[in-house]
Chains A and B, each alone.
Chain A
Amino acid sequence: MESAISPNMQHGRKSGFRRFLHKLNEQKYLQAMAIPGVIWMIIFNYIPMYGIIIAFKEYDITLGFNKSPWVGLANFKEFFSDERFWLIIKNTVGISFFKLLVGFPLPILFAVLLNELVSVRFKRAVQTISYLPHFISWVVLGGILMNWLSETGLINIILTKIDILKQPIAFLAEPKYFWGIAVVSEVWKELGWNAIIYLAAIAGIDPELYEAATVDGAGRFTKMFKITIPCISGTIAIMFILAVSGLMNSNFDQIFVLRNPLNADASDVIDIYVYRMGIEAFRFSYATAIGLFKSIIALILLLTANGVTKKLTDKSLF
């Protein structure tokens, strides 16, 4: 029996393989366009993912990812008992939380109010101006902030002139002001940019809804709250999921520019600590473990936010 089946199978396999080769030859140009992208992803996305294993090893640069000795969860244990652990968690979540609290509703409000402007030209001008800060780098913005917030800077001049302050304050040298500076500067930079998505959503609302409401005698505020905001609630939900899942990210580029040894107690967030431990102190395995801890929390946050939003609004990412 065996001998009766096997030639058949072999034949089937062979022709399958031949068909595969034929098809591959037919789409050789297409594959030649696709495969470089796959190779790029393997090198720049998947090898670093594989490199995460060094979080469980004691990485030795001469031995590489594979041959470095395993240490189990030692790096994680060390992080959890690190004297700065709670401070770093507090700073990371705290800065992000206040950015979310202030920075999430304001672009929605801004978009709704912008939509209420009667003059199209003025509206467009405000929009163009409000995008501007998005295109300014954090380095330049950090430079402006350091200048303005210094003891002889503009903010101190104004505050002492109107008698709010008696003595000028070096704002960036004191931890207690750092969160506020981070939140305000981020909102300033991204308000207009973050409103684009809501403006686009508002532009997609059927104008007949507004006309019908006008006929029914609805005023402007009624229309704003009963039509505009409900119609963009789907977009709001999606943006909220994304914002919550980013709670462990506190914008590295920004904080890296604004931090200094004097405000470290308020500016050491997870990403900064990974940099300090890894790039500055060469503790590659320890820093990788901290980064992995962050990724896991971020993933849990993403799934939770997605689930909760799905239950509440029927809208979700996946």
Chain B
Amino acid sequence: MKIKSSFGDKVFDVFNITLMLIICFLTLYPVWYIIVYSFNEGKDAMLGGIYFWPRKFTLDNYKTVFSNSDITTAFMVTVARTVITTTLHVFFTAMVAYAFLRKELMGRKIYMAMGTITLFFGGGLIPYFLLIKSLGLYNTFWVYVIPGMFNFYNLIIFQAFFRELPIELEESAKIDGANDFVIFTRIILPLSTPVLATIALFVGVYNWNDYFMGVIFINNPKLQPIQTFLYKVIAQVTSNQMLAYAPGGIATRNVTSQSLKMATMVITTMPIVCVYPFLQKYFVKGLLIGAIKG
């Protein structure tokens, strides 16, 4: 049933497509700008006038950044933190979600009520800060991992997914003598890749992008994530400390603190930007489940 589109419809289409192109440009341009700036000679970039393409192409900014051991350490801390915490979070939260879902679990109602309360009430920053200190997690790598292992909102998303799985599979496994943990790891988890990917993306992005834990819980520069490092460089106007690390020849030639910031931003952002298009179909689904149940 094709109905011939009217003149008004065509005008609307043209308007709509133009608007979408403008939105795409406004979205991409700031990202493009830092990439261009990061590949341009720093002193030349300071003169302005660089909009769409590097004027004096160079890799010196990146060479300088990668020769800075603080940045490479911070990058590795972020990678380790993101991989370890995300893996543990997905496994642990899914496990608890599955156990909380099983009808025969004694105390199930109390456990679920305890979790639901955490969605609406919390202690706030200061009691949490004091807790982390008194647990001895302050200034250790584990402050990223252990408090980040569980989240009740994600538990609800897991449960919404697990409910749709065929229950016969569990029953037949039980008859074959499998215990609950075996059922969870061998049957439930392999069937749950879409929701595992969704939560992994959410938690992964959070851990990759978080700078605040590093600001309040970490003193040791060897343990700070790259976002915290970048925050300190950006927030402190005197950020020439980065320049001090530049290998002899490069520093005097053309690298500036601004161009180094840009290169660091690109390095900080690229890994996550490269991952998300592949996970897109999962998180759209996951957000929907979250919205219905949450």
A-side residues, CB < 8 A to B, are: 20, 23-24, 27, 29-34, 36-38, 40-41, 43-52, 54, 59, 61, 64-65, 110, 113-114, 116-118, 122, 125-126, 128-133, 135-144, 146-148, 152, 154, 157, 188, 191-192, 196-197, 199-200, 211, 214-215, 219-221, 235, 238, 252-253, 256-257, 260, 271, 274-275, 278-279, 284, 287-288, 291-292, 294-295, 299, 302
Residues of chain A lying within 8 A (CB to CB) of residue B1: 211, 214-215
Contact, CB under 8 Å: B96 / A36: yes
Contact, CB under 8 Å: B122 / A27: no
- Can you name the residue of chain A whose Cβ is closest to the Cβ of B37? A147
Question: Which of B114, B126, B277 has the most CB atoms of chain A within a 10 A radius of its CB?
Answer: B126
* 18 A/B residue pairs, CB under 8 Å, sorted by A: A27-B104, A27-B180, A29-B180, A34-B107, A37-B92, A44-B150, A114-B20, A116-B16, A118-B13, A135-B209, A139-B227, A140-B34, A143-B262, A200-B287, A200-B291, A257-B235, A260-B235, A287-B126
Residues of chain B lying within 8 A (CB to CB) of residue A291: 124-126
Q: Does B52 sit within 8 A of A, measured CB to CB?
A: no
Contact, CB under 8 Å: B34 / A144: yes
Contact, CB under 8 Å: B291 / A157: no
Q: Per DSSP, are chain A's interface residues mostly helix, strand or loop, or mixed?
A: helix
Contact, CB under 8 Å: B100 / A196: no
B208-236 CB contacts (< 8 Å) to partner A: 208-212, 216, 227, 230-231, 234-235
Contact, CB under 8 Å: A126 / B20: yes
Contact, CB under 8 Å: B122 / A34: no
Contact, CB under 8 Å: B124 / A136: no
Residues of chain B lying within 8 A (CB to CB) of residue A192: 27
Q: Does B30 sit within 8 A of A, measured CB to CB?
A: yes
Contact, CB under 8 Å: B127 / A288: yes
Contact, CB under 8 Å: B235 / A37: no
B42-94 CB contacts (< 8 Å) to partner A: 46, 48, 92-93
Q: Which of B27, B209, B212 contacts A129 (CB 8 A)?
A: B27
Once bound together, how far apart are the Cα atoms of A188 and B235, in whole Å? 21
B118-155 CB contacts (< 8 Å) to partner A: 118, 120-131, 134-135, 147, 149-150, 152, 155
Once bound together, how far apart are the Cα atoms of A284 and B189, in whole Å? 43
Query: In the complex where A118-B13, A132-B28, A215-B1 touch, is A113 in contact with B99 (Cβ < 8 A)?
Result: no
